[in-house]
A = this chain, B = another copy of it.
Amino acid sequence: MQTHQHEIAAALRIGLRGMAKAVTVISLCHGSKRYAMTATAVNELSMDPPSMLICVNKAASLFLPLNEGAHFCINILQASQAEISAHCSVKARGEDRFALGSWRNSQLGPPYLLEAQSSFLCRNVSKVEFGTHGIFVGQVEQVHLREQNDPLVYMDGRYGAFRCRTGIGIDA
């Protein structure tokens, strides 16, 4: 990477720290192993077909299974689940990541987190590589919704929640 790109990457990192993001845990099953990873680079994509995308670093343990076509689940965490987020990122590895929370098996393959605010079970249908990352598109096959609507939000190295401030209500 050129010096100029290093400087841009450094500034981009600072800018992205200030971008609030919902916290999810991506989970999947590949062969006899289960994988889970906290992720914020998760996006809605299309409603026809219903689909989402995730961006995953090639250095992550989940990359290889995803690259080989493993289906995956996007679990949106509740504000009370910062501990699970930390557990599935810095605190635990491998199967130990499933020690917190109640995980269930799905028909499609990936385990899903029973207490998550919502879980989207996705068929791995498309991938693109760019730089250090893979972009994986998942066609949503099953949705689990819970009543709670208070998602965990991550910003500037801290966990928190959404607070309605302006009272302006519109549908984007």
A interface with B by C-beta (< 8 Å): 1, 5, 8-9, 11-22, 38, 40-53, 55, 76, 79, 82-83, 85-86, 89-90, 117-118, 120, 126, 128, 130-133, 135, 137, 140-143, 145, 149, 151, 153-172
Contacts and interface: CB of A to CB of B under 8 A. Distances in A.
13 contacts: A5-B50, A15-B145, A20-B161, A38-B172, A44-B55, A47-B132, A49-B131, A83-B168, A128-B128, A158-B167, A159-B166, A160-B165, A161-B165
Nearest to A132: B46
A118 B49 contact: no
What's the dominant secondary structure at chain A's contact region? strand
A68 B165 CA distance: 38
Contact of A22 (B20, B133, B149): B20
Nearest to A81: B166
One complex includes copies of this chain to the number of 2
Nearest to A39: B172
A86 B156 CA distance: 25
